[in-house]
Amino acid sequence: MLSALAIRDVVLIDRLDLSFRSGLSVLTGETGAGKSILLDALGLALGARAESGLVRTGRDQASVTAEFDLPTRHPVDDILAEADLDPREGPLILRRVVTADGRSRGYVNDQPTSVGMLRRLGDTLVEIQGQFDQRGLMDPGTHRDTLDGFGGLAQAASAVATAWTGWHAAAKAHTDARAQVERARADEAFLRHAVQELDTLSPQVGEETELSETRNVLANAEAVLQAMNAAADALASETGAEASLGAALRAIERISAKAGGRLDPAVAALERGAAEIQDGLAEIQSAAADIEADGARLQDIEDRLHAIRDLARKHGVEPDSLPVLHREMVDRLASLDEQGGGLAQLSAKEREARSTYETAAKSLSEARHTAAKRLDAAITKELPPLKLDKARFETAVHRLDESKWGPSGMDGVAFQVATNPGAASGALSKIASGGELSRFLLALKVTLAGVHPVPTLVFDEVDSGVGGAVAAAVGDRLARLSDRLQVLVVTHSPQVAAQGAHHWRVEKRADSKSTTTTVVGLDEAERREEIARMLSGAAITAEARAAADSLLMQSR
């Protein structure tokens, strides 16, 4: 709850420190005393729009500090963690500083933060119900969650949110896979052509090097053959090495027997030489025959070498990598058929997840319609005592277009009112006048007291335009509401003021130099006088005091 409010240099307020307690707190005072300034100041700490005109004349800046006592676990803790702000170890303190040029700064427990963060935190702490406030129940965006809270539909709503997450996860998986297949299909024609080229060419690892070497040899075939022929002549001609070696061997063999074995090694060496010459000659002749045979293949070898190199350049790989690329492309083509089957499975999962979501959302929708009827009946009972007996409240639950379905289901929910018989229903903010609007909101809050998580409610002008029994009914409902929540109300009604557990009077004091608004806490005797003043005006009569006593007695 709101435990303290410190205001410095805001309009007519110089320095003001207020402490609040649970229950119903009322603020009264003469018209123009500055009661609205208190709400403006509180709004600043809660992230409301700041204007330079809020700074007291002659001062450089204004500041407002609001302190809240909260339970150990509260929604603000998650917000602080999400914003990387230090966790609270005690009260939560929101502070806003506004300079004379209209600039402002926000702080959470003395940590600098944005005004948007103050507003986000403030939305979980205080709800100001008034003609011009567009938060809380005035915000149609809150109506669906409010109805779910009233109807006890948290578990059903959670099931819908879970089903929504499952459906969209399945839809995304299907969409992503389909996009991948479509990209592959777009390349399919290229893949098939490339695989056909590789199938036809069937390049092998190392083939490009071998072909290149062979081509080089064949390109120099004439010079190579000439050298081979010269070598063969040198070995095999009548005066060549083979003939000379043979003559030497025959000469040695004729006299080897007379040499007593001393020429045997020479004979063996000459025989080996003769054999090596024959082998060398055979190799030369074989190589020459191969070159002569390959000469006819030179064009084919060059054509294949060029084909391999061109295909490698086309795919941006080295020639020896073509066989690997070939296998990869074949595998990619094969996977297209497999992906087609996978798409069918993903599509079935998406349909199943959608069906689960629709079933859960339709069940939640039926429960919402039932809860809406109960809510309408409960609020209708609250309207006659608040002088709204001719008004009609309606919780409109309607099916949204599929494009607007979401984790909260397929329903839109709006609280609508009609203030005159036969008139069409419309939004709260557009149909009800200022006083009517505050009383509608009061009826809603009384009915929804156990639903809304915001611990502090502030009502402004809730008693506008009413008096007597209606004002008493307003006060009674504010008191009932304060049994569960902290309630602050700015009021001109003595019937409402008499219901307060705590009472402050807003006063304007002026001297020759300045005018200042201050707030005074009232004891029992002072409360009696203030309520008597509200009943009779400036001249407080004995009858007014007696009437004040009666109102105070009735409120106990």
Per-residue pLDDT tens over the stretch 133-150: 556 677 788 899 999 999
- Long-range contacts (CB closer than 8 Å, 24 or more residues apart) made by 176-185: 177/339, 177/342, 177/343, 177/346, 178/343, 178/346, 180/339, 181/336, 181/339, 181/340, 181/343, 184/332, 184/335, 184/336, 184/339, 185/336
Arithmetic mean of pLDDT, 152-175: 95
Q: How far is CA 273 from the centre of its chain?
A: 90
Residue 526: the pLDDT is 93
Q: What CATH number corresponds to the domain at position 82?
A: 3.40.50.300
What count of other Cβ atoms lies within 10 Å of the Cβ of residue 497?
29
pLDDT band at 27 (very low <50, low <70, confident <90, very high): very high
Query: ∠ CA 155-161-163 to the nearest 5 degrees?
Result: 105
- pLDDT beyond 50 at 132: no
Q: Is residue 112 part of a domain?
A: yes
- pLDDT beyond 70 at 236: no
User: How does pLDDT run across 264-277, given as a tens digit for each residue?
Assistant: 787 777 778 777 77
Identify whether residues 479 and 552 lie together within a single domain: no
Report phi then psi at 506, rounded to 5: -90, 125
Q: Is residue 246 part of a domain?
A: yes
Q: Which of 28-32, 133-137, 464-468, 550-554 has the highest mean pLDDT?
A: 550-554
DSSP string, 149-201: HHHT-HHHHHHHHHHHHHHHHHHHHHHHHHHHHHHHHHTHHHHHHHHHHHHHH
pLDDT band at 333 (very low <50, low <70, confident <90, very high): confident
Identify whether residues 56 and 193 lie together within a single domain: no
Identify whether residues 533 and 462 lie together within a single domain: no
Mean pLDDT score across all residues of the chain: 85
Residue 341: the pLDDT is 64
- pLDDT beyond 50 at 307: yes
The H or E element containing residue 202 is: none
Q: Which of 122-131, 141-150, 267-276, 290-299 has the highest mean pLDDT?
A: 141-150
What count of other Cβ atoms lies within 10 Å of the Cβ of residue 373?
13
Pull the structure tokens for residue 203: 């390049």
pLDDT band at 494 (very low <50, low <70, confident <90, very high): very high
* Prediction pTM value: 0.66
Arithmetic mean of pLDDT, 527-533: 92
Identify whether residues 43 and 102 lie together within a single domain: yes
Question: Could you give the CA distance from residue 95 to residue 513 in angstroms, rounded to a whole number?
Answer: 29
Q: How far is CA 206 from the centre of its chain?
A: 54
Strand partners, 416: 394, 427
Question: Could you give the CA distance from residue 192 to residue 416 in angstroms, rounded to a whole number?
Answer: 64
Angle, helices 154-186/322-382, rounded to nearest 10 degrees: 150
Query: What is the SS3 assignment for 553?
Result: helix
Percent of the chain with pLDDT over 70: 90
Identify whether residues 95 and 221 lie together within a single domain: no
Look up residue 56 and give its amino acid. Answer: R
| Domain edge (last residue) among 295, 313, 334 | 334
Identify whether residues 540 and 480 lie together within a single domain: no
Helix, strand and coil percent figures for the chain, each rounded to 5? 60, 15, 25
Provide the terminal-to-terminal Cα distance of the chain, rounded to the nearest Å. Answer: 23
Identify whether residues 473 and 532 lie together within a single domain: no
Q: Is residue 442 part of a domain?
A: no
Arithmetic mean of pLDDT, 29-44: 84
Look up residue 170 and give its amino acid. Answer: A
Nearest to 396 by CA among 367, 419, 417, 420: 417
Arithmetic mean of pLDDT, 417-437: 77
pLDDT band at 487 (very low <50, low <70, confident <90, very high): very high
Arithmetic mean of pLDDT, 445-461: 82
Identify whether residues 82 and 199 lie together within a single domain: no
pLDDT band at 338 (very low <50, low <70, confident <90, very high): low
User: How does pLDDT run across 76-107, given as a tens digit for each residue?
Assistant: 999 999 999 998 888 999 999 999 888 899 99
Q: Is residue 459 part of a domain?
A: yes
Identify whether residues 477 and 530 lie together within a single domain: no
Identify whether residues 273 and 317 lie together within a single domain: yes
User: How does pLDDT run across 344-384, given as a tens digit for each residue?
Assistant: 888 999 999 999 999 999 999 999 999 999 999 999 999 99
Arithmetic mean of pLDDT, 121-141: 74
| Domain edge (last residue) among 334, 351, 381 | 334
Cα-Cα-Cα-Cα torsion 525, 527, 531, 536, nearest 10 degrees, comes to 40
| Domain edge (last residue) among 307, 334, 361 | 334
Q: Is residue 428 part of a domain?
A: no
Bin 110: left if φ > 0, else alpha if -120 < ψ < 50, else beta.
left
Q: Is residue 385 part of a domain?
A: no
Give residue for tokens 């080089």: 216
pLDDT band at 220 (very low <50, low <70, confident <90, very high): low
Residue 154: the pLDDT is 92
Instruction: Give the count of domains, the chain.
Output: 3
Identify whether residues 329 and 226 lie together within a single domain: yes
Residue length, the chain? Answer: 556
Identify whether residues 507 and 531 lie together within a single domain: no
Bin 468: left if φ > 0, else alpha if -120 < ψ < 50, else beta.
left
Residue 541: the pLDDT is 85
Q: Is residue 438 part of a domain?
A: no
Percent of the chain with pLDDT over 90: 43
Segments forming the whole domain that contains residue 214: 188-334
- Long-range contacts (CB closer than 8 Å, 24 or more residues apart) made by 476-479: 477/382, 477/385, 477/386, 477/442, 477/443, 477/446, 478/24, 478/442, 479/24, 479/555
Arithmetic mean of pLDDT, 224-237: 69
Q: Is residue 196 part of a domain?
A: yes
